[in-house]
Amino acid sequence: MSWSVIESWENQQANSALEPNGQKGSSDVSRYFTAVAPGVGYSTVAALAAPGIPRPNDPHPFTPSLRVLTRSAQQTGPMYFTVTIGYQGQTADPDDPAQNPLLIPPVITFGAITQEVEVDEDINGDPIETINGEPIVGVTRPFTDLVITVQRNLPSFNPASISTYMNKVNSATWYGLPAGTVRITDIQAQTVTSDVVPYWNVSVSFQVRRGQGPVTDAKAWCHRTAHQGYIINASGTKRIATTDDNQTVQQPVMLSLTTGAQLPAGTGAFIEFEVLESIDFNALNLL
């Protein structure tokens, strides 16, 4: 056998008081339970620990801002106990930022992240290649990006909705940063029960990458690669590229971005592809 706990809906009590300033007050509510022990010999302490009896600081099932503050048990028979649970909570002025968590301004912090990223040009804008014009792959350099974390209290949080912002870049200016330079790297959220209203504490991290060298801000998060291949456009005719002695090339050659013609050795041409969709981050309403 196990404990049997039944809530009594008769004689339940609730009280509310408001301070003279009319802005803050308190409330207390009592709930009553009948707990039946599995057998004789059980104490009131055991009755308070019975499954189904609210624990200290548990929220009220209908008013989460009320929390369990007091608990008492009285034995009324060999196996019967009456358990009284007292809830208390504070009320606050919902228009006062000091009391209403939803009116607290966002907390913005700044950091940095450094990543090794493969590059195709040197600091002078020349392609990274051998003296014979063959591309050298695997050359990297550190990129240090600004990281902005915005933490704010929101009345609700929809995981399905906010997930649409992941792996996207900003389509419009956000926090003074140009379109195409910002992407979301992390989203965290947790529920909080306050004296005023339940809310979500949401934290979102943004990684900022600005355009560098020939890459503009709008293409900061694009995939950049050498514009090269084995097929060239020779006076309007597409054919396999050949060497000076009319042999088929064994390595791809650089191609013009406009005509597709083969470029002279030592001349670089690079192209950027948008691999991340864009979306307006201002719709997040975090700032």
Domain residue ranges of the chain, discontinuous segments joined by +: 4-91, 101-215+278-284
What local confidence, expressed as pLDDT, does residue 44 receive? 96
What local confidence, expressed as pLDDT, does residue 193 receive? 72
Radius of gyration of the chain (CA): 34
Average confidence (pLDDT) per 10 residues, the chain, 287 residues: 90 72 70 95 96 91 84 96 89 61 92 87 80 78 94 90 90 96 93 76 95 88 88 92 88 90 82 92 91
Strands (E), 155-258: 168-170, 182-192, 199-208, 223-226, 228-229, 231-234, 237-240, 253-254
What local confidence, expressed as pLDDT, does residue 154 receive? 92
Beta-carbon contacts of 74 under 8 Å, excluding residues fewer than 6 positions away, are 44, 81, 82, 83, 84
What local confidence, expressed as pLDDT, does residue 143 receive? 87
CA distance 142 to 140: 7
Q: What CATH number is given for 4-91 in this structure?
A: 3.30.70
What local confidence, expressed as pLDDT, does residue 239 receive? 93
